[in-house]
Structure 1
Amino acid sequence: MYDAIIDALRRGASAEAAAAARALIESQPQDAQAQRLLSAALRQAGDRDAAMAAIDAAIALAPDEAALHLERAGLLLDGRQLDEAQAALARTTGLDPNQFPAYILQAQLATGRGDYEQAERLVKTAARIAPDHPQVAAVEGSLALRQGDPDRALAVLSKASGQYPDEPILRHALGFAYVAKGHLAFAEQAFRKLLEQQPGNPLRAMIADLVRRQGRPGEAADELRPLLDDPSATPALRRLIGEFELEAGRDEAARELLREALLGQPTDPRTLRAVSEAWRRTGQSDEARATLEPLLEQHPGQPELWYARLLFEPFASDEAAGVVERWLAAMPDFVPALEARATIHQQKGELAEADAIALRITELRPGHASAEMRVIDGLMRTEPDAAVERVESLLARATDDNIKRMLRQVLGRTFDAAGQPDAAAATWAELHAEAVPQRLPLPAQTARLPSLPDIGPRPEQAPGTAFLWGAPGSLVERVALTLDNARMPLLADRLGANPPGDPIQRYGTAEALVDGSLDPHFLVRQWRATHAARGVKDGRIIDWLLWWDNALLLALRPHLPEGRLLVALRDPRDMLLDWLAFGGPVPFALPSPEAAAQWMARALGQVAQLHQDALFPHAIIRLDEIANDPAAIARATGEALSVELPSLPHAPQGPDRFPAGHWRTYAEPLAEAFTTLSPVAHRLGYPLA
């Protein structure tokens, strides 16, 4: 879409580029990139004022797009002239001072199109003419930013700003350098000083975004609100302010603005997402339907509008089915619409109809992952041998290693459905053994505990504090999903990319508590110290743990007596089978079924001891018979916490798990592992065989 314009710019055909950009803008008036390219073409042609108008139009359409503000800063460089001393300096070097602005402009254009080597050559030439000119430093700093070197940019621009403290060009570039380094408060200060010198709406939008990124979304919205008095205020500006209002929790104000923004640009996905969230928060489903229906009549081929419309009908209801039928009438054989129809059939138990649609999707789009899985699931119910053949056929054609691994895991499930447990167990065990180097080592468990301290007195009016844990295969993730759906204070960050740095997160903590090298009171203090950074405001927390060891009771009994442990549990042999077949929420290594069984026996042995001896307030949530029943999981979890929890609106993601007792099908191929687990299973209340 933009290639012809970019090609013309590279050839220096500015008139051709401008004509192509104007044609694109005429067909897509809300396209900020088209306005940006028009600005570049006009700038290349020497029409600075028109170029500035075009870049301002781009910023109006995308006011929080930093790259547009950076290009506007480049335009501000263009009109500046050398003073007499610089001109004299240039003459002494034998160079034409009149070429300086041209070198600067060409360097900026080269930077904008990513030709950094050319930009460096040009700015070096400009620097020979006037080495201390602020434009040189501004371009050098901007070039360093584009090349991913914010430290160098900040050094160059800070030094130049010290020489020219009131130079707006440098202050502009310095603000972006601060942003790149994450120094948002300094960036805000730089841009505010620049705004005092050069009042303008584009700069105010940048400041508002910086305020929002510092955690003050309400102030950011207030910063921009006065701009709405301008009759030329764009839908993008309304969307931006509405997003800030949403983030600040001012939902009614957000809804009004975002609805107006949607009417101005009804096919913008970002606006649709934001206004849909505002409608959801304010309970305005009727307004959502009334607003979206006329837009669908005007734009029946826009998938984003159909997605939004579906949000405001009960999941898998007749009303939702009616919306999907209209969607398919407007966009026949559109795969996402077919997927939505198949999902509704499946939720209603109309499995044959869902399977037929999935097969149609694979014909329209061969290799479509979710449709292929639905087809395979259908074959496992009706023709399991054919399911094996289909997966083997997909495996033979797959070239991506990740897809191959996924298909081999599915192949094991098809072997299970076809009554081949030996082949299934061998397939899964081989996959896990291959993945050991990429997985987390299994946490070590303490062999024995010293004498436990007494449980301390429960503090009055202590906030609700709980820990959640389940070994792999327990389906603890479904308990967590239920808690999250109920807006309970669940924290799952220990499983993510930015876990807390407290001792409970670290391997070796249990052993350190037992041998005395870690002070129990210190552990609890460190745990509490992470709460603010984790978003805990009132002390209420359900902390999902990576591991459990009864050694933690050395700290929890005396120093956190108000705590409670929730343990998700199934028959340990079913848990091992589930771990093999489906993996777990924490990517622990599974070297072999036998090694995994030994580790699980030790871990669950500690749970059995905790339960039998009542070592700490706890509840065991048994999921054996309710693993695939969201309402039952909600009831069991609510009973464990003495609260009433709503069930999930539909089944958790992922395939249904094997029924309770399915481990017996694998009694022969996993005999050694099950022999290891049977004693602890019996201690936990399950039959020996």
Structure 2
Amino acid sequence: MLERIHEALKRDAVDEALALAQDWVAQAPDDAQAQRALSTTLAQAGDVAAALVALDQAILLAPEDAGLHFERAALLLRSRDNDAARDALGQSLGLDPNHLPSYLVQAQIALARGDIAEAERLSRTAARIDPEHPRLAALDALLALRGGDADRALALASAASAKVTDDPQLLSVLGFGYLAKRHWAFAEQAFRRVSELLPDARALRPLLAQLAAAQGRMGEAADLVAPLLEDEATATAALRRVGGLYALQAGRTDQALEQLRRALAAGPDRAVLQGLMQLWRERDDRDEAQATLEAALATHRDAGDLWAARLALETPGTAEGEQVLERWLGAMPDFVPALETAMFQRDRAADLEGAGRFAARLLELQPAHPAAGQFLAESLLAGDPDAAVNRARAAVAAQASEETRTPMRGWLGRLLDRAGRPADALAQWRSLHAEFGANRLALPVLAPAPDAGWPALSTPVPGTGHPILLWGLPGSGIERVVDTLAAGPMLRDRFSDQAPADPLAAPASAHALRDGTLAPAQLVEQWRAQLPARGIADGNVIDWLTWWDNALLLALRPHLPEGLLMVAVRDPRDMLLDWLASGSPVPLALDDPDTAAAWLAQGLEQLADLHEQDLYPHLLMRLDGVLDAPAQLAAVVGQALGVQLPPPPPAPRRMPPGRWRAYADLLAGPFAHLAPVAARLGYPDA
């Protein structure tokens, strides 16, 4: 329908286009595109007021569509002089080639149609007639915005606003310019002034609500759309969606539940579903959740998000869950997420035949599907290792992007290990490390122990909190400890883009302490000073460190005696093998196993010194044998702290304890570096 309308407009068959648009709106009154097409057609017919009404209705149907707001601004450029607009469209430019309003109106219509090139051509022509006309400046500002040049748009609109004050059109363009620059407060100021100047600015309310929400004022955002939601004429599903989400974020759960439920009734939406699921969980209202989702599924059987939400209400592996999954597969037999869910559920139920069947179907639909390719290779491993390896190599080769191929190559190495091919596995892992080594961090150089010995461990000051510093070398499994402690005041921000800029951020601080260029008290003071900004007010924190050096004890012993160092450790040779196979949380370069082993040995020697000499309050967590057993891992970590912890969520399996022995010949040199410290830590020679 839209193409037919645009084709008629290009032929100047306005009456034909208008009839088509009106028919479309009659058939689909809740379709924003239909209302948009009607607005464009009415504008070309010269009825700007009616065009604004249709466009406002489109905005109510799709309040987050920025393009609609652009078109509204274009219509506003004409709304102050409807007679002139109609006259302009009625005139022939051949009779009056210097009639500026005609060019401006035609350009604005082209802009509404999305024909930017034509709008720019008409603007250039108009500029030859009156380059200083404020309406032309506003049009050019809109064109600049559509072209992504917000700075030029703001400059043009600001200059024109100085000549024509309190003009809604120019203020609208200014608002969009600030919006594009993410200057929320300035954009809000401009649009609030527009709403004051226009008698009916209902369509601006969703935009003002969006700006309030962008500034964290969720309650105000909800209040702005509330009057529109109380009127059935304006309470569209899209407005109920945004209004419900604003209310949810403002903590108005009853209001959010009502609006999101009604939004869902109009059609499935992921954000709406997520909001509803959160509310139902908080209220522990499974019955309402089930009834609401079943009602939605009755009319939207092909909505995958609805089925996924409905399945999430059931416990995996139960008869009820299996029944919902069967219904999902019956409704959407070739839907990839449904097949993936079925494959994983069959795998968890130890139904290898069923899982294999779903994996094969997934590969028919998506020949490069990573999980399905992995599963089929894994399913062959016990009976035919060679076939498993061939299948795995084919699955890796099928990946089109490096983003998916890289983790698949790491998995291939681990499968080669389990297939009894340690040499091939080692070659696979080394190739990965060599390929990405240039983008990884150099191994930090450790500082030597102080010549004068360690400062005295001072007495903790009451009321200063009990901070925990958490650390583990590559291959130690420290990430699983972090997962286990996630319910506490755990800070992972050192591994993110928001890492604090304190002295514990860089290994160079250890050397600065050692040579005296960093005062020990200053290190602890700067660390403490950053805690409030990281969300810690009382000093009770678990701070996951990216590195450790015993030289830090020069500061911690005298100035943080109340601290506790928690360290994860395994058999050093298993740690090296795990580092080779799975990498590490800190992306350290592993240029070759011999260099990595020598560096790993230095770090573990420092740890052994700290442990044997009891240089600082610490807990040594030995994770051998529990890394892949969530309940046992939680028991080990909880016992160390004297608390009871829930098991961490499942994670990919790691190299089993003692697996290093299969590589004793291949890695004889690196393991020789690690043997002495392994003995110090209590691990057997062989």
- TM-score (norm: length of structure 2): 0.89
**Measured at CA, do residues 386 and 560 of structure 1 come closer, stay the same or move farther in structure 2, by a change above 3 Å?**
same
**Partner residue of 1:661 out of 655, 658, 662:** 658
Distance 1:550 1:34 in 2: 69
Distance 1:630 1:617 in 2: 26
**Measured at CA, do residues 386 and 39 of structure 1 come closer, stay the same or move farther in structure 2, by a change above 3 Å?**
farther
**Measured at CA, do residues 330 and 384 of structure 1 come closer, stay the same or move farther in structure 2, by a change above 3 Å?**
same
Offset at residue 30 of structure 1 (A) = 5.3
Match of 1:330 in 2: 331
**For the Cα contact (< 8 Å) 2:367–2:398, is it kept in 1?**
no
Say whether 1:375 aligns with 2:384: no
Match of 2:91 in 1: none
Match of 2:127 in 1: 127
Distance 1:391 1:583 in 2: 20
SS of structure 2 residue aligned to 1:201? coil
Q: Deviations over 1:249-300 (max 9, x none)?
A: 343442233222222x232222222212222233222211111112222222
Match of 2:53 in 1: 53
1:67-78 superposed matches below 5 A: 67-78=67-78
1:559-578 superposed matches below 5 A: 559-578=559-578
1:132-171 superposed matches below 5 A: 132-171=132-171
Match of 1:244 in 2: 246
Distance 1:539 1:37 in 2: 60
Distance 1:662 1:57 in 2: 67
**For the Cα contact (< 8 Å) 2:168–2:194, is it kept in 1?**
yes
Name whichever of 143-152 and 238-247 sits farther off.
Answer: 143-152
Match of 1:91 in 2: none
AA in 2 matched with 1:58: A
**For the Cα contact (< 8 Å) 1:251–1:282, is it kept in 2?**
no
Match of 1:522 in 2: 522
**Measured at CA, do residues 430 and 188 of structure 1 come closer, stay the same or move farther in structure 2, by a change above 3 Å?**
same
Offset at residue 96 of structure 1 (A) = 4.6
Say whether 1:304 aligns with 2:305: yes
Offset at residue 357 of structure 1 (A) = 2.0
AA in 2 matched with 1:676: H
**For the Cα contact (< 8 Å) 1:465–1:542, is it kept in 2?**
yes
Distance 1:548 1:323 in 2: 50
Offset at residue 153 of structure 1 (A) = 2.8
- TM-score (norm: length of structure 1): 0.88
**Measured at CA, do residues 540 and 22 of structure 1 come closer, stay the same or move farther in structure 2, by a change above 3 Å?**
farther
Distance 2:258 2:342 in 1: 32
Offset at residue 373 of structure 1 (A) = 1.4
**Measured at CA, do residues 403 and 254 of structure 1 come closer, stay the same or move farther in structure 2, by a change above 3 Å?**
closer
Distance 2:509 2:2 in 1: 57
Match of 2:392 in 1: 391
Distance 1:191 1:354 in 2: 56
Match of 2:650 in 1: 651
Match of 2:261 in 1: 259
Match of 1:109 in 2: 110
**Measured at CA, do residues 508 and 139 of structure 1 come closer, stay the same or move farther in structure 2, by a change above 3 Å?**
farther
Offset at residue 302 of structure 1 (A) = 1.5
Offset at residue 582 of structure 1 (A) = 2.0
**Partner residue of 2:468 out of 445, 461, 466:** 466
AA in 2 matched with 1:651: P
Distance 2:446 2:5 in 1: 64
Distance 1:366 1:335 in 2: 12
Distance 1:114 1:678 in 2: 73
SS of structure 2 residue aligned to 1:231? coil
Name whichever of 318-327 and 541-550 sits farther off.
Answer: 541-550
Match of 1:610 in 2: 610
AA in 2 matched with 1:122: L
- Structure 1 unaligned blocks of 5 or more: 88-93
Distance 2:600 2:282 in 1: 43
AA in 1 matched with 2:220: E
- Structure 2 unaligned blocks of 5 or more: 88-94
AA in 1 matched with 2:637: T
Offset at residue 499 of structure 1 (A) = 2.6
Say whether 1:275 aligns with 2:276: yes
Distance 2:419 2:347 in 1: 22
SS of structure 2 residue aligned to 1:367? coil
Distance 1:11 1:457 in 2: 89
AA in 1 matched with 2:166: D
Name whichever of 230-239 and 368-377 sits farther off.
Answer: 230-239
AA in 1 matched with 2:224: E
Say whether 1:205 aligns with 2:196: no
Match of 1:226 in 2: 227
Match of 1:90 in 2: none
Distance 2:240 2:435 in 1: 52
Distance 2:580 2:125 in 1: 64
**Partner residue of 1:671 out of 668, 672, 675:** 668
Offset at residue 457 of structure 1 (A) = 4.2
Offset at residue 306 of structure 1 (A) = 0.3
Name whichever of 22-31 and 158-167 sits farther off.
Answer: 22-31
SS of structure 1 residue aligned to 2:445? coil
> Which structure has the larger Rg?
2
Offset at residue 183 of structure 1 (A) = 2.1
AA in 2 matched with 1:251: T
Distance 2:614 2:429 in 1: 37
Offset at residue 366 of structure 1 (A) = 1.5
Q: Deviations over 1:219-243 (max 9, x none)?
A: 3223332332212212222221221
**For the Cα contact (< 8 Å) 1:126–1:136, is it kept in 2?**
yes
Name whichever of 665-674 and 470-479 sits farther off.
Answer: 470-479
Distance 2:352 2:114 in 1: 53
Match of 1:686 in 2: 683
Q: Deviations over 1:362-387 (max 9, x none)?
A: 13332211111111222223322111
**For the Cα contact (< 8 Å) 1:604–1:680, is it kept in 2?**
yes
AA in 1 matched with 2:269: D
Distance 1:512 1:81 in 2: 72
Distance 1:187 1:663 in 2: 62
Distance 2:28 2:82 in 1: 40
Match of 1:421 in 2: 422
Distance 1:154 1:359 in 2: 56
Offset at residue 215 of structure 1 (A) = 2.0
Distance 1:660 1:9 in 2: 74
**For the Cα contact (< 8 Å) 1:466–1:566, is it kept in 2?**
yes
1:620-635 superposed matches below 5 A: 620-635=620-635
**For the Cα contact (< 8 Å) 2:110–2:118, is it kept in 1?**
no
Name whichever of 372-381 and 539-548 sits farther off.
Answer: 539-548
Offset at residue 456 of structure 1 (A) = 4.5
SS of structure 2 residue aligned to 1:567? strand
Say whether 1:360 aligns with 2:361: yes
**Measured at CA, do residues 548 and 215 of structure 1 come closer, stay the same or move farther in structure 2, by a change above 3 Å?**
farther
Distance 1:582 1:7 in 2: 59
Match of 2:62 in 1: 62
SS of structure 2 residue aligned to 1:468? strand
1:519-558 superposed matches below 5 A: 519-536=519-536, 539-558=539-558
Q: Deviations over 1:580-615 (max 9, x none)?
A: 112233322211112221222222333222333333
**Measured at CA, do residues 454 and 283 of structure 1 come closer, stay the same or move farther in structure 2, by a change above 3 Å?**
farther
> What fraction of aligned residue pairs are identical, expressed as a percent?
48
Offset at residue 517 of structure 1 (A) = 2.2
Distance 1:639 1:220 in 2: 47
Offset at residue 433 of structure 1 (A) = 0.7
**For the Cα contact (< 8 Å) 2:513–2:552, is it kept in 1?**
yes
**Measured at CA, do residues 203 and 617 of structure 1 come closer, stay the same or move farther in structure 2, by a change above 3 Å?**
farther
Name whichever of 524-533 and 308-317 sits farther off.
Answer: 524-533
SS of structure 2 residue aligned to 1:301? coil
